[in-house]
Amino acid sequence: MNPELLDQLPIPKIVHDRPVGGGDINEAFKLTDQNGGRYFLLIQPNHSKDFFKHEVTGLQLLAQTVLTPKVLAWGSFGKDAYLLLSYVNHQPAGDQFEMGRQLAKLHKRRSPNKQYGFNENFTMGTYTADNTWQPEWESFFVNQRLAALKKLIQQRNLWTSEMETLYARAIKVFKKLMKDYHPLPSLLHGDLWSGNFMFNQDGKPVFIDPAVFYGDREFDLGITHVFGGFTTDFYEGYKTEYPLERGSANRLPFYQLYYLMFHLSQFGAGYQGSVLQMLALCAGK
């Protein structure tokens, strides 16, 4: 760890730092200052401070409703970007029912212009999410999420003719489902898998690493089903606060498809089978 960077941070003198897990694309460190205070530092090599702009925006938006790490500082040091957050002293398990309730409360927040999208795009790996505002969720999700990911997958030569056939059918099914469903543009976490929440020492849920935009609240819920980590208590807590609309079970697979397509676009052929299986489900095969 560069001591000049540590001296630049608006916190007491750091006496200890060690690398920790921080996701797939950032370097991450746990810092301890001379008074025993702890912090979480993310570094993204060879990027300007704008790399963390959307995460900062998202954390600050979420913090108005749910628990998040506090943004303490973000900026550039040399050729690298950094983000300094408060450290969450976490434990492996906590109140999943309350986590469901908190997510539901977040989803009750609406977009400022009653449209879907956000006032800035965000990038995850090689995927840049186009958040241009749209008045209809169907066109936003199909064109600015699924179609964009499909193009990335094609560029990696991982999109097959069988996928294309099923994809065309799936899009028709999705458009048919949307005729009877008109979701409100809710504030979404945007990347809610099991690695993006934790529980503090009181067992309360803390949400991290958001990729916020305004969209169908079922988008977040669909992602929670992809890799597991969410218990039945979580879904019960959500429904207690904000019951789902009829037909949600038929729509959730499309949001699972989005997340699997994202992983195929970023991490390669190991996700081809999962994408194909989900395409078949969405297409009604």
218-221, Cβ contacts within 8 angstroms, sequence gap of 24 or more: 218/183, 218/244, 218/248, 218/251, 218/252, 218/255, 219/141, 219/188, 219/190, 219/255, 219/258, 220/103, 220/107, 220/188, 220/189, 220/190, 220/192, 220/255, 221/248, 221/252, 221/255
Structure tokens at 101: 């309730």
Q: Active site residue: 7, 17, 191, 233, which one?
A: 191
Nearest to 276, CA basis, from 168, 151, 159: 159
Residue where the block lists tokens 């999962």: 274
Cα-to-chain-centroid distance, residue 106: 14
**DSSP E strands, the chain:** 14-20, 27-33, 38-44, 71-77, 80-86, 90-91, 122-124, 127-129, 186-188, 197-200, 205-207, 213-215
Question: Is 191 part of the annotated catalytic residue set?
Answer: yes
Which residues participate in catalysis according to the annotation? Answer: 191
